[in-house]
Amino acid sequence: MKNHFYIRLFLLTGIFFCATALQAQYTPQEIDSMEQRLQTPNLPDEEIYEIYGNFIYAFMYDEPEQALEYARKGMNFAKKIHNDFYLAMFYYLAGEVHIKIPKLDSTMYYHDLSLAAKNKAEKKEVKDKTLLYRLEADLLILSSDVHRFCGRYDLALEDLFKALNIAEEKINTPSETGYIYASIGEIYSLMENYQKAEFYYLKYLEICRETDAVIGLAGAHAALGGIYYSLYDFQKALEYTEEASRIYSTMPYVPIPVLSNLAGILADIWLEIPDYDKALEYILMSVEYARQLNAPRHTATALIILSKYYMKVKKYKEAEEAAFQALEADSTHIYTNSHAYQMIAMSNIRMKNVEKSLEYFQKTLNARSDYSNENYQSSLSEMEVQYETEKKEMKIAALEEKNS
């Protein structure tokens, strides 16, 4: 089975990154206006809270330290007015900033602080309970992100199904539910359970169409393009990915990580169709985007696909070198490592370096076995059944309470 590692980064930095980043774009004039507004005497607490939140989202992706500075200001403000819900939200947003960096220990530190503050807020009078439910779901999603980064996919799914239950039973907004469908699809794709991944991405795509969520439509098409690539349906993969590219081209701003990953998916597809000239065009584009970002994970994935290109055109030494460069760029994630090891093994087979090829095939197998096996897949299916059972039990209990 082909392993499309771009699916992973696209969901993380494609659908979600693009959606929040596009919604949080502010001109310098708007930033200045918000700063001036903060200096207004007797500004209502609700407006101060909103402005600090806007600042955090405005700087979250390009200037995370600035975003954290506003998160700290928001925390101090919330403590000053003794508002536990506001404090929980600013802790949560600080965790969101740290997951983008990523600094996982700091993410969970703020996650736990947010959860404790939310629990305190629940004991007090909160007018809109939906806000608490949404924060509860968001904290579960944040926790699942940490598990995903660490390769703990079973725990990531456990959190996501809990969040889905809250979204469907207590929040009931399509955007919230769709976001979680996409997150579940991402985890299944990482586990190479592409049929399950397709199922949840299509559910997400349906919601995006129903709600005319253009940004989500682009990301969903891109993710499905990666899925169909992994299922060897290259024409369908090209159709979905080119549609994603068309949608993104209509937007005034698209983050570089999204463009990098989209180029990577298109490069992979053209390698298989094949059209090596088109593939190389997109590969070089992806490598350049990754280097602009100075993001090790993106650089590693771009270099791995460059290694695949060299294998296709029978430049085996160059293929090995590109794979080693990928490991030098980022060797922290076992999923990415497995692909680099595989390319090194395959290139050495072609160069008749039997001993070296066997060494790296074993490394590939070891890496892959750490995140994917039959028992793992089985446990994920059981978790889905448990979620559906719990949902039915909740509905039955609600009916009984209504009829009593």
Q: Is residue 186 situated within a structural domain? A: no
Query: 397 phi and psi, to 5 degrees?
Result: -60, -40
Look at residues 371, 286, 366, 273 and name the one whose alpha carbon lies nearest to residue 322: 286
What does the pLDDT look like over 344-394, one tens digit per residue?
999 999 999 999 999 999 999 888 776 555 435 545 555 565 555 555 554
Helix (H) or strand (E) holding 27: none
Q: Output the six-digit token pair for 118.
A: 């939310």
In the block, residue with structure tokens 């992706």: 61
Q: Is residue 395 situated within a structural domain? A: no
pTM above 0.95, yes or no: no
The helices-and-strands tally (H runs, E runs) of the chain is 20, 0
Domain count, the chain: 2
CATH number of 306's domain: 1.25.40.10
Q: Sorting pLDDT into bands at 50, 70 and 90, what band is 332?
A: confident
Query: What span, in angstroms and rounded, lies between the C-alpha atoms of 316 and 347?
Result: 5
What does the pLDDT look like over 122-175, one tens digit per residue?
988 667 789 999 999 999 999 999 999 898 999 999 999 999 999 999 998 998
Q: 3-state secondary structure string, 148-198? A: HHCCCHHHHHHHHHHHHHHHHHHHCCHHHHHHHHHHHHHHHHHCCCHHHHH
Q: Is residue 309 situated within a structural domain? A: yes
Name, in order, each residue with C-beta under 8 angstroms of 260's C-beta and a sequence gap of 6 or more. 285, 286, 289, 290, 293, 298, 302
Q: Is residue 402 situated within a structural domain? A: no
Q: Is residue 92 situated within a structural domain? A: yes
In the block, residue with structure tokens 């060494």: 359
Q: Is residue 10 situated within a structural domain? A: yes
DSSP, res 60 = T
| Long-range contacts at 231-240 (CB < 8 A, ≥ 24 apart) | 231/194, 231/198, 232/2, 234/269, 234/272, 234/273, 237/265, 237/269, 238/266, 238/269, 238/273
What does the pLDDT look like over 229-267, one tens digit per residue?
999 999 999 999 999 999 999 988 887 888 888 999 999
Q: Which domain holds residue 45?
A: 1-126
Q: Among 79, 107, 126, give the residue marking a domain's end.
A: 126
Q: Is residue 361 situated within a structural domain? A: yes
Query: What span, in angstroms and rounded, lies between the C-alpha atoms of 63 and 38?
Result: 20
The total of other beta-carbon atoms located within 10 Å of residue 342's CB is 22
Look at residues 320, 310, 311 and name the one whose alpha carbon lies nearest to residue 356: 320
Q: What's the whole-number average pLDDT of the chain? A: 86
Name, in order, each residue with C-beta under 8 angstroms of 330's C-beta and a sequence gap of 6 or more. 296, 297, 299, 300, 336
Q: Is the dihedral of CA 330, 335, 337, 343 positive or negative?
A: negative
In the block, residue with structure tokens 């995370």: 64
Q: Is residue 308 situated within a structural domain? A: yes
Helix (H) or strand (E) holding 44: none
Ranges 37-51, 185-199, 232-246, 383-397: which has the least confidence: 383-397
Q: Among 83, 101, 126, give the residue marking a domain's end.
A: 126
Q: Among 126, 155, 189, give the residue marking a domain's end.
A: 126
